[in-house]
Amino acid sequence: MTATTLTPRPVVPMTLADRCDRCGAQAFIRAVFTSGELTFCGHHGRELLAPLTRAAIVIEDATDLINAQPSPSANSD
């Protein structure tokens, strides 16, 4: 069994186009497998972290970027 690498920053930055595979929210966690990858929001990424660390090759965690920039809708009336 190979050890999962938990990286603090994605190799390829995640964008607004990267969506959670569970709920469709913006993704901040990417789990890379030999067969592809899954992306998750902070909530679902943390919820699934234990099984992901057992199965994924790399888990990229960018949850520190949540709320790093104000949401465009935060100031809308």
Residues in touch with Zn ion (CB under 5 A): 20, 22-23, 25, 41, 44
Residue 1 C-beta: closest distance to Zn ion, Å: 27
Residue 35 C-beta: closest distance to Zn ion, Å: 21
Residue 45 C-beta: closest distance to Zn ion, Å: 8
* DSSP letters spanning 8-48: SS-SS---TT-B-TTT-SBP-EEEEETTEEEEE-HHHHHHT
**How many C-beta atoms surround the C-beta of residue 32 within 10 A?**
20
Residue number with CB closer to Zn ion (32 or 40): 40
